[in-house]
Amino acid sequence: MAIKSVSIRMEEEMLKKLNYVADYEGRSLNSHILVLIRNNIKAFEAENGNIEGTISPDFNVKPGRHK
């Protein structure tokens, strides 16, 4: 599996809040963003059918502390 890097731009306050949520959930910011992305893909596929590919959106998701 190839790992790719993506850069995003966002407001500083939004980044601080996202870091706060990630910390609360016991994740790094990167891990938390991956969880959000996977949840979005999972919801999309539940409504619209599977997107072609071999990796499930549940692959390698670190559980949070406060579920």
The model's pTM is 0.77
Helix (H, G, I), strand (E, B) or coil at 17: helix
Cβ neighbour number for residue 34 with a 10 Å cutoff:
16
Cβ neighbour number for residue 32 with a 10 Å cutoff:
20
Rounded-to-integer distance, Cα 1 and Cα 25, Å: 26
Each domain of the chain, given as residue ranges in start order, spans 12-48
Q: Do residues 9 and 63 lie in contact, with contact meaning Cβ atoms separated by under 8 Å?
A: no
Mean pLDDT per 10-residue interval, the chain, length 67 residues:
86 98 95 92 93 76 57
12-24 and 29-48 helices, crossing angle to 10°: 90
